[in-house]
């Protein structure tokens, strides 16, 4: 509990660091992607060390689980309460009052699986607490696209299959993500209505007739804006495009991202290997 009581200023500092990136982009036009890469490299220890989900047992010596959680007023993470059969009504009341996000009966035969599932689900919610900061970089059309159910589901599956952390931005439009080893990739998002404009820009860089045709037909995308954001001197790359969601309203394509620092620097796996061993037992 003492550790969690020390975390609120660290959460606030991390939120402020992210807000500064967006403010710098908005006020002076500093590209977002290089700023995010720098942030990931420099602030990984602080960011990965923040506890995002706390699981407590209602029946504990000295104080019960709800009493403990009441001591964490300023801690912004997610709360799970383990309960005995006699405690379930108390847990329901705590959930209804917003004191916990979930309760899990200890007598359940699959209690270990329920705890792990809750940790996975709630960790994603905790990670999204600063989504409003990044949502402000989106245009109304981009935001509307991302809220379409089939697109939202498809993107959720993609990002959690590839990355341990990611950020959605609107300039350029896409998702920047990093895997557990620190490798960064860019998921470029392109509305189908913007394919002709992208092809026109690609033509100005000397793209071939085949490449231009593929872009206009929605079978390929070119990372022009990514290259501009990173200040690349080499030519743009082209990659296979795929529909995001149930139709071709939004297309996506993956591109690798150049990094000045070694990609392992500040990676989650590297950080995790330095932590004490942790076990989930029944």
Tens of pLDDT along 81-105? 998 877 788 888 888 888 899 999 9
- In this structure, are 190 and 145 located in the same domain? yes
Predicted pLDDT at 265: 60
Q: Which comes out higher in pLDDT, residue 3 or 197?
A: 197
Q: Which of 101, 129, 157 represents a domain boundary (last residue)?
A: 129
Number of other CB atoms surrounding residue 120 within 10 Å = 11
- What Cα–Cα distance (Å) separates residue 116 from each residue in 84, 88, 128, 214? 18, 20, 19, 44
User: For residue 262, what pLDDT band results from cuts at 50, 70 and 90?
Assistant: low
Does the residue 277 lie in any domain? no
Does the residue 81 lie in any domain? yes
Q: What is the mean pLDDT of residues 34-42?
A: 90
Name 6's Cβ contacts closer than 8 Å, sequence gap at least 6.
Answer: none
Predicted pLDDT at 136: 94
- In this structure, are 157 and 114 located in the same domain? no
Q: What is the mean pLDDT of residues 28-32?
A: 96
Does the residue 280 lie in any domain? no
Q: Which of 129, 158, 191 represents a domain boundary (last residue)?
A: 129
- In this structure, are 114 and 144 located in the same domain? no
Q: Which of 129, 147, 169 represents a domain boundary (last residue)?
A: 129
- In this structure, are 93 and 22 located in the same domain? yes
- Nearest of 190, 205, 203, 200 to residue 240 by alpha carbon: 190
Both structure tokens of 278: 């942790």
For residue range 71-83, list pLDDT tens digits in order. Answer: 888 898 999 999 8
Is the pLDDT confidence value at 217 over 80?
yes
Give the CATH number of the domain where residue 121 resides. Answer: 3.40.50
Is the pLDDT confidence value at 148 over 60?
yes
Counting the structural domains of the chain, the total is: 2
Lowest mean pLDDT among 31-35, 56-60, 223-227: 56-60
3-class DSSP state for residue 252?
A: strand
- In this structure, are 231 and 145 located in the same domain? yes
Predicted pLDDT at 25: 97
- In this structure, are 61 and 116 located in the same domain? yes
- In this structure, are 110 and 191 located in the same domain? no
Does the residue 281 lie in any domain? no
Q: Model's pTM, two decimal places?
A: 0.88
Both structure tokens of 48: 């990965």
Domain of residue 37, residue span: 2-129
Is the pLDDT confidence value at 282 over 60?
no
For residue range 129-146, list pLDDT tens digits in order. Answer: 788 899 999 999 999 999
- In this structure, are 12 and 117 located in the same domain? yes
Residue in this structure with the two tokens 């917003």, named with its chain if needed: 98
Predicted pLDDT at 263: 53
- What Cα–Cα distance (Å) separates residue 241 from each residue in 65, 173, 221, 235, 251? 50, 15, 6, 19, 6
- In this structure, are 121 and 150 located in the same domain? no
State what percent of residues in the chain have pLDDT above 90.
Answer: 56
């Amino acid at each position: 509990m003492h550790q969690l009581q020390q975390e609120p200023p660290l959460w606030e500092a991390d939120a402020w660091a992210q807000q500064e990136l967006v403010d710098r982009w908005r006020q002076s036009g500093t590209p977002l992607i290089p700023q995010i890469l720098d942030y990931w490299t420099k602030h990984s220890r602080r960011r990965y060390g923040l506890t995002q989900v706390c699981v407590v047992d209602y029946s504990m010596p000295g104080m019960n689980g709800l009493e403990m959680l009441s001591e964490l007023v300023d801690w912004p993470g997610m709360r799970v309460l383990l309960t005995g059969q006699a405690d379930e009504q108390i847990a329901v009341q705590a959930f209804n009052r917003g004191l916990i996000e979930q309760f899990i009966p200890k007598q359940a035969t699959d209690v270990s699986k329920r705890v792990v599932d809750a940790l996975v689900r709630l960790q994603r919610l905790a990670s999204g607490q600063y989504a409003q900061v990044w949502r402000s970089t989106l245009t109304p059309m981009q935001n509307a696209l991302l809220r379409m159910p089939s697109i939202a589901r498809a993107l959720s599956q993609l990002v959690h299959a590839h990355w341990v952390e990611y950020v959605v931005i609107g300039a350029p439009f896409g998702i920047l993500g990093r895997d557990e080893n620190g490798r960064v990739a860019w998921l470029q998002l392109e509305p189908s209505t913007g394919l002709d404009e992208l092809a026109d820009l690609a033509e100005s860089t000397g793209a071939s007739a085949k490449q231009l045709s593929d872009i206009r037909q929605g079978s390929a995308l070119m990372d022009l804006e990514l290259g501009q954001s990173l200040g690349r001197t080499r030519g743009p790359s082209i990659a296979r495009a795929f529909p995001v969601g149930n139709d071709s309203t939004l297309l996506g394509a993956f591109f690798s991202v150049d990094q000045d620092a070694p990609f392992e620097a500040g990676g989650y796996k590297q950080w995790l290997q330095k932590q004490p061993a942790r076990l989930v037992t029944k």
